[in-house]
Every structure is written in C-alpha cells, then in structure tokens.
Amino acid sequence: MSLLGRLEDLSLTDIVQIVYLSRRTGVLEIVDDRGRHTVMFRQGLVVNASSPEHPDLLTYLVARGSIPEAASPGLRKMEESGIPLGTAAVEMNIIPASALAEAIHERVVGVVAPLLQSREGEFNFILSDHVGPLDVEYDADSILKEGGFPPQRIVGAADGEKLKPLRGLEESLKVGKALLRSAAGAPPPTLDLGLGHAKEPELTLVPDDNILPFPTPEEREEQTFTPVPDDEPFPALEPTAAPPAPEPAQKPRTSSGQFKVAGGLIEVESPDATYRNVVLFERSPLIRVAARRAFGRNRVKIAQFGTIDDARIAIGDYIRANTFFVTFLELTDHSDVLLQQLKRKNPRLPVVIIDAEADLRRRHDLLRRGADLYLTKPSPARLQPGLVEEELTLFADELVLFAERAFQQWERYTGGLDPDAGRRFYETAEKENVDRSFSLLKQLINELSNPNDIGEVSATILRLSAEYLDRGALFIAGDSEFTGISGFGAADMPARVKSLRIPRKEPSILDDVAASGVAHRGKMRRTAANVQLIDQLGGVLPTEVVALPIMHSKRTIGILYGDNAAHRAPIDTMTGLEIFLSQAGYAFGNAVFAAEKARR
C-alpha cells in the first residue's frame, strides 16, 4: 500500500512533514482539476517538483530566462547520454550553481504554493528505492547545501518560522515502533533481496484517519526490513544475540543459497527463490515503482537501477554467482552494447528491451542482436489523471508475464531445482559458446582463401573485430612506420585509417606492441603519436584500449588497435579474436608481402 487519499482528509503540509520525519524517498503525486502535480523527495528532503505549467526543469529555466533557448538542444542531448541537464548546464557555465539552486527553489515553491490551501484533489505517495540525479534532473548533493529542501523552506512561514508538529504524530510513531517490533499476532515479514537498495517500510493510511507511523532515523539504522503485504512471504531474519557488521551493498548470491544484507544472513525458503531474479534498468521512477510492486506480488526479487553502469555491475555479480535472472533494459545508446555483452556471456539469459515508442526497424535490429522481446512503455498521452495507475500496472504485468515464462523455461531446461542447477546452466552455455566460436573461427579462417589479397584479409579481420570493439584500426608494421589499412566504428573510418602514418621512432602503443610482440590491454600513455592516433580516429577518448599483434614467422607484421570510445563499456574477453589473429598471421603476412612486391 502507499500513502494515498484526498487533500480534504490530509493537507499537503502534513504530507510533506510526514515524509520528512520518516526520511522517505519517492514521488508524491497530486491530481486535481488542473492536472497532475509531482513533488520528489530524497531521504525526506524535497528535491524537485513539476506541474502542468512547469513540466520539466529545462522548460522552466528557459521560460524564466535563466538559460538561453539556444542551449536547449545541447542540454537535451547530454541528458540523453546520461548527464542530468541541470548538472550539464552548470558544468558548461550556462548558469551558476547558486542561480540554479535559487531557480529550483522557486520552481518547487511555485508548484507547491497553490496546493497548500487546496482541499481538492487526490494524492498518492509512491515509495521508491532510489532517486538519482537523472530522476531529479540535477545532482542535488552538489547543487544544494543540504542535498534538498526541508519542509520549512517549502511550506513554512516566510520568515523561516518552524512548522507546528503534526497532531498525534509522536503517538503514531510509538505505535508504529511497537508494530514493527511485535512478534505476536503479526504477519511474517517479507524481504526485498534485490541487488539495488534495501526495501523500506511501506506508507499507508488507516481507516480512523490516523497516520500509520514510521521508524525514527535511529530505528531505521537498526531496521533492514519491514512487513509488507504478500501472499507467500519470505522468511524472517533468524534472531541473533548481536547483529554482524553490515555488508557492502549489492553483494552477489553465495553458492550455499544465502544472501548477504545489512543486519545478517537470510536463509532462502525454497529452491525456486534462487532463480526468480530480475534486473531492471529504467530511468523513470514511476515505472520502477510499478515494476517493484508487480514483481513483489509474485515473489520475484528485483534489482532496479536508474543508470546502466549500476545495472551492468549487478549483472556481473549474478553471472559470477551462476545465478539465473531476467534482464529488462530501457533503450538508450548503451543498452544494445550491454545486450550483446550479456548474450555473449550466456545466450540463454533472457533480455527484454523497453523502447519509449514503437519503431519496427529498431525492433528488427534489436531482435537480430539477441533481444528476446521488444516492448514499448506507456506513452505520455496515456499517463494522465485517471489512467496513470492502470497504465503502469498493465505495463508492469507484461514484464511479470514474460519473466514467469522465462522462469518456467529455466526449470524445464535445468531439469531440477537442486543447488547445482545454476552451475550446470552456465557450464552448458559456456560449452555452447566455445563450440559456436570455434565454428565461426573455422569459417573465417577458411575465408582467407587468397592470402595475396590484402583487402580481403583485412576485411575478414575487421569483421570479427567489430564483434568485440566499438571502433578499430588495422596497421601494417613496416620497418620505418605503421601504415593504416582500414578500420571500423564510423562511416568514414576506413578513409581515416588509410591516411594514418605513425613513425616507428616515435613512442606509441603500436611501437610498444610491435617491439614486445605481446598484446596490450588497458590504458594508453599520452604521447604525441598516441594523440595523433586518437585524433585521426575521431577524437573521442576511450576508457580502455587494446592493441593485438599479428605475427608472421615470429615477427610482428601487423597490429590491430581497438577501443571502447563509442559506449565506454568494459571490453569483454577477446579470446576468440586472439585465436583468430594467431591463425590469420600467415595469410596477413603473405598479403602484405604480395602488396609490397606489387608496389615495386
């Protein structure tokens, strides 16, 4: 249940204080005859607000004259790439941080002020596990001194006078404390074992109009779970004399079927709990909350993230722990890369791509890349007063339906729910990957049928390299210089690489690999030749680079350079590519010698 009702029963001032005193994180929705209003909270502090008149922060800042309209396209593009627009505007010196903080405060007050005295409208506080900078539209910790606005800055008197305490709030808090600690007559507690954030106590209204209390900040340090309504709850923590030290967040599952969380060890009730896992990358907090509710009702552990890097870390933890899971990815510039990486690890792990709008060409491309399903989220036109809850629920139910089918297929595939099922699942996938890679390598090696054609050999090498790297370039290692042959990663990359000439006397990553005959992977030194290489490839700086030697008769005859400049995702294992290059060395060398002979 959520904290919901009508403003005639509970005023906005009271709601803001309740959320602040309980240090809640989430979104308060208020729907009246003017439309939908939202107030966003993070640990009880107000961090943003919107209304039909002020739909988003950038629109408000442009209308207010704080940001020139010409800067909007650039800021929107940065937001799409994962940088909050408010933060981007400050870093680009479009607006000072102090001016942005003042504008945000005015916007929040402008949204809240008309609602303070209103008794018309319905409210719903949607509890969220996490509200990040992208949700808030700026980095609250760096822009605001306190990380947000306390109630007196939003609904207090003009002179900063303290708000009067809620009537009966202290008594309610005591009652809530007793409810949380009582063992007799209370329903068994359930646990959210997601990799993301610990589940916090739900908010609700009781029939006699008294507010169901929340733990104090001190109690919240002690409490890591709370009862929530579930038909088949997970078991409670086993009582211990003294709780162990808190574990770091997002610990992977152990092979014994136990989970590490702050406060102790949780025993899994039944074998099916070890594979009913979901990872969701979705930037909309409303969709994340709807998904958490839907999966919680079906006893599925869900790890939700607003950034793709956090989702990638959780996925890695699950894979290392031999855990089955279903992945839902909001479509961004980086989602397809994570999709391909995940499918290379284990093609049998289901992945669903969620698009903001239907695009049949995109759908075809994503399914070809390995996506198991392509879904579109509810359109903004459907997320209107009276429809929003139903639309979000229906969409979340679609996610649950797909996950349930995937869980059933996993049971049939493994043939049992014993502790070794996960290990067998990943071992089988690894064997299939090896067989598939071996077949592909044989096919590509067979394509090197004309070792005198440098163009054919290069095209085959680059075609396989593109499966592992964002961009790449192939060089001939001559006696005096490295000569570019061709490349991939952009439409004009072949032409860019062909014009590249890097002298061997200048320190570079190419010279290091040519001299040692050993592959390089990781960072790259800043030298004049390396800077020239990056500039010629487009100027975008990668976070990881590789340089692989192509050997012929114990001599480095060529070098394949590659990096992750486009998406900056970690480069996956390249064993297949390295094996192929070791076999392609003979053909590449003969092609180089034939080309040199033809030039003479």
Burial environment of residue 589 by CB neighbours within 10 A (0 to 12, 13 to 18, 19 or more): buried
- Mark which of 154, 169, 191 sits at the end of a domain: 154
Q: Report the 3 state secondary structure along 351-416.
A: EEEEECCCCHHHHHHHHHHCCCEEEECCCCCCCCCCCHHHHHHHHHHHHHHHHHHHHHHHHHHHCC
Residues 281 and 324 in one domain: yes
**Does 535 score more than 90 pLDDT?**
yes
- Mark which of 394, 429, 464 sits at the end of a domain: 429
Determine the pLDDT at residue 417.
65
> What residue numbers bound the domain in which 487 lies?
448-599
pLDDT in tens, 445-503: 666 655 567 788 888 889 888 888 889 999 999 989 999 999 998 889 999 999 999 99
- Mark which of 135, 154, 173 sits at the end of a domain: 154
Say if 172 falls within a structural domain.
no
pLDDT in tens, 198-238: 333 333 333 333 333 333 444 333 333 333 333 333 233 23
Say if 329 falls within a structural domain.
yes
**Does 563 score more than 70 pLDDT?**
yes
CB 151 within 8 A of CB 16: yes
* pTM for the whole structure: 0.45
Residues 459 and 425 in one domain: no
Closest by alpha carbon to 504, among 537, 533, 530, 478? 478
Residues 462 and 422 in one domain: no
Closest by alpha carbon to 95, among 149, 57, 147, 48? 57
Residues 293 and 419 in one domain: yes
Type of residue at 119: R
Say if 236 falls within a structural domain.
no
**Does 250 score more than 80 pLDDT?**
no
pLDDT in tens, 277-301: 999 999 888 888 889 999 999 989 9
Say if 93 falls within a structural domain.
yes
Q: Which residue has the higher pLDDT, 400 or 203?
A: 400
Mean pLDDT (whole number) for 104-130? 84
Residues 415 and 489 in one domain: no
Lowest mean pLDDT among 153-157, 182-186, 593-597: 182-186
Residues 352 and 301 in one domain: yes
Say if 174 falls within a structural domain.
no
Structure tokens at 508: 């570079």
CB 179 within 8 A of CB 186: yes
Residues 387 and 489 in one domain: no
- CA 285, distance to chain mean position in Å, is 13
Closest by alpha carbon to 227, among 185, 269, 197? 185
Q: Which residue has the higher pLDDT, 356 or 182?
A: 356
Say if 255 falls within a structural domain.
no
Determine the pLDDT at residue 433.
63
Structure tokens at 598: 């033809």
Average pLDDT across the chain, whole number: 76
Say if 144 falls within a structural domain.
yes
- Domain count for the chain: 3
Determine the pLDDT at residue 401.
92
Say if 222 falls within a structural domain.
no
Q: Which residue has the higher pLDDT, 97 or 257?
A: 97
Domain holding 383: CATH number? 3.40.50.2300
Residues 420 and 455 in one domain: no
pLDDT in tens, 72-91: 888 888 777 778 888 888 88
